[in-house]
């Protein structure tokens, strides 16, 4: 039996899981990250080594639980949250806290560019955190030798090499997605505020990037000399880990960022940002995403703010607070007896003043109604965003595989089947990102000849939830008559609220 390690360094936590060659979880470790730091409205940063420390804690836990021979661990597949920006000096030291993908600051004040830019590229230029640093922290910008993603920084700490995957370079980096490479045009580097020599060495998914060195092994507990194989960003890793590798297949991840990923053979980005495209874990494939930046983060928010009285009971029963909340909400009917939630705890770019809304309270409603309404609100908004994406690319969602922590909830699974009006299945592990990373190592190392063979051996779809016609009708009417009109109706009120509370 051979084994593969899959990593998932996310926003809220790190997970490191050892799978056998059949995709069975053999040992796992997880570590919660400290909360993001927000010094100003819209800012979001990790503290300097929160992600690295969390990764090491999770990796040591996974290795401690592995009772096999470490020599039988073939490789480490490496996946990470996307869009985090690290600035390092010549000696590899961080010059500022890593800026999260959830951060909303823009590089307003950057000098005019010397060539015309289309609207999408112009937006990305302002989005670039290197450009923001150039405008607001010129002393940091001047000292920066390397610009890295979270995966690039963890790879550096493990191997001593500046390496990363092309499939985790979106948003503010000079890349050519269609050709799956760094940009060749010099102006693109100038546009995003970086130099060509400040970028790490880039690898395709499945390629061996480097090997864990002595220092990386001592810090993480991973075997010294083991190979680090490129994967992709976490959402692409989850899509692979769910077995979605063919054109038109769909995957929903119920994670911090909740998104629907559609597998496509070519890159056709939406220049209005109604959906995003990424290089997939499988070379020459692309994942199109409709998403909510704060999706199942809302469930964590609900748990921490409205469910803490269940902590003792959860501990006594050996389950999570979320499981108890799901049990509470099991008898709440679809539609939550008139309670609906608009899940804009973090507004989309197209709705800059959006706020979360709970609408329809009356005397019947309790915490359990709020919990189910939040689940339905997340899936409803995801359906709205998905419809826009599918209309743009001419594809219809006919079936879905689901993963992430939310997929463990029968309420979530059934509500999603009813809202999307199609079968929704889940795999036998919710840890699809780590599994996708492990599959990348299994293919990259040559253990499996290709992704089809690896998926056939390592991914198993279990139960399927089918739409209930009366639920489809009710939830569809709520979406069309209540949810869709909500933002246009409240837009001027949201704008007044932002002005009155001095939100920038």
Model pLDDT, residue 272: 81
Rounded CA gap, 200 and 375, in Å? 40
**pLDDT tens digits for range 179-230:** 999 999 999 999 999 999 999 999 999 999 999 999 999 999 999 999 999 9
Average pLDDT score over residue span 398-402: 95
Q: Domain boundaries in the chain?
A: 3-242, 294-396+470-500
Rounded CA gap, 185 and 141, in Å? 22
Share of the chain above pLDDT 70, in %: 99
Binned at pLDDT 50, 70 and 90, residue 172 comes out as confident
For 336-354, b where at least 16 C-beta lie within 10 A, e where not — what string? beebbbbbbbbbbeeeebb
Average pLDDT for the chain: 94
Indicate if the pLDDT at residue 245 is higher than 90.
yes
Strand runs (DSSP E) across 317-449, as ranges?
A: 340-342, 357-359, 400-403, 424-427
Binned at pLDDT 50, 70 and 90, residue 295 comes out as confident
Assign domain 294-396+470-500 one CATH number from 3.40.50.300, 3.40.50.880, 3.30.420.40, 3.40.50.450: 3.30.420.40
Q: Are the folds of 3-242 and 294-396+470-500 the same?
A: yes
Rounded CA gap, 485 and 491, in Å? 10
Model pLDDT, residue 171: 72
Indicate if the pLDDT at residue 502 is higher than 80.
no
Please tell me the chain's helix, strand, coil percentages from 3-state DSSP, rounded to the nearest 5.
40, 20, 40
Rounded CA gap, 393 and 385, in Å? 13
Model pLDDT, residue 503: 64
**pLDDT tens digits for range 37-75:** 999 988 999 999 999 999 999 999 999 999 999 999 999
62 three-state secondary structure:
helix
**pLDDT tens digits for range 54-64:** 999 999 999 99
Give the pair of three-digit tokens for residue 494. 């949201």
Give the pair of three-digit tokens for residue 71. 């020599």
Binned at pLDDT 50, 70 and 90, residue 292 comes out as confident
Rounded CA gap, 69 and 2, in Å? 9
Model pLDDT, residue 2: 98
Which ranges in 144-279 belong to alpha helices (H)?
150-159, 186-192, 214-220, 234-241
**pLDDT tens digits for range 420-474:** 999 999 999 889 999 999 999 999 999 999 999 999 999 999 999 999 999 999 9
CATH class of the domain at 3-242: alpha beta
What phi and psi values does residue 435 have, to the nearest 5 degrees?
-65, -40
Model pLDDT, residue 504: 55
Q: What pairs with residue 260 in β-bridges?
A: 252, 290
Provide CB contacts within 8 A for 255, sequence distance 6+. Answer: 10, 234, 235, 238, 295, 296, 404, 405, 406
Model pLDDT, residue 404: 81
């Amino acid at each position: 039996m051979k084994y593969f390690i899959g990593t998932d360094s996310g926003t809220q936590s790190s997970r490191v899981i050892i799978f056998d060659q059949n995709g069975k979880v053999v040992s796992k470790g997880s570590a919660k990250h400290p909360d993001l730091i927000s010094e100003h409205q819209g800012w979001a940063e990790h503290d300097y080594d929160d992600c690295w420390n969390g990764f090491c804690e999770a990796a040591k836990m996974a290795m401690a639980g592995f009772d096999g021979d470490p020599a039988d661990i073939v490789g480490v597949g490496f996946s990470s949250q996307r869009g985090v920006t690290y600035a390092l000096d010549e000696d590899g030291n961080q010059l500022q806290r890593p800026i999260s993908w959830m951060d909303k600051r823009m590089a307003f004040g950057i000098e005019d560019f010397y060539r015309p830019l289309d609207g999408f590229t112009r937006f990305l230029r302002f989005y670039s955190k290197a450009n923001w640093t150039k405008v607001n922290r010129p002393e940091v910008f001047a000292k920066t030798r390397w610009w890295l993603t979270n995966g690039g920084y963890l790879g550096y700490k493990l191997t001593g090499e500046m390496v990363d995957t092309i499939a985790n370079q979106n948003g503010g980096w000079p890349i050519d997605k269609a050709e799956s490479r760094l940009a060749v045009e010099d102006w693109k580097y100038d546009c995003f505020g970086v130099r060509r020599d400040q970028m790490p060495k880039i690898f395709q998914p499945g390629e061996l990037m480097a090997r864990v060195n002595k220092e990386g092994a001592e810090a993480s507990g991973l075997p010294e000399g083991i190979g680090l194989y490129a994967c992709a960003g976490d959402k692409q890793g989850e899509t692979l880990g769910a077995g979605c590798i063919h054109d038109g297949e769909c995957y929903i991840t119920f994670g911090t960022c909740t998104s629907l990923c559609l597998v496509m053979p070519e890159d056709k980005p939406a220049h209005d940002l109604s959906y995003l495209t990424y290089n997939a874990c499988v070379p020459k494939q692309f994942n199109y995403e409709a998403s909510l930046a704060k999706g199942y983060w809302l469930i964590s928010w609900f748990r921490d703010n409205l469910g803490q009285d269940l902590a003792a009971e959860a501990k006594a029963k050996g389950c999570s607070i979320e499981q108890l909340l799901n049990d509470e909400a099991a008898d709440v009917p679809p539609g939550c007896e008139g309670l609906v939630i608009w899940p804009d705890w973090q507004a989309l770019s197209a709705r800059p003043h959006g706020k979360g809304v709970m609408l329809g309270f009356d005397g019947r409603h309790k915490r359990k109604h709020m919990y189910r309404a939040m689940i339905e609100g997340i899936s409803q908004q995801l359906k709205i965003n998905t419809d826009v994406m599918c209309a743009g690319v001419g594809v219809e969602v006919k079936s879905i595989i689901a993963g992430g922590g939310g997929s463990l909830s029968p309420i979530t699974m059934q509500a999603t089947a009813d809202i999307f009006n199609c079968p929704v299945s889940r795999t036998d592990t919710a840890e699809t990102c780590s599994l996708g990373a492990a599959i990348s190592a299994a293919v990259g190392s040559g253990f499996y000849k290709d992704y089809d063979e690896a998926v056939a051996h390592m991914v198993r779809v279990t139960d399927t939830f089918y739409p209930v016609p009366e639920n489809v009708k009710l939830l569809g009417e709520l979406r069309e008559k209540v949810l869709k009109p909500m933002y246009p109706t409240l837009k001027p009120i949201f704008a007044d609220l932002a002005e009155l509370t001095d939100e920038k």
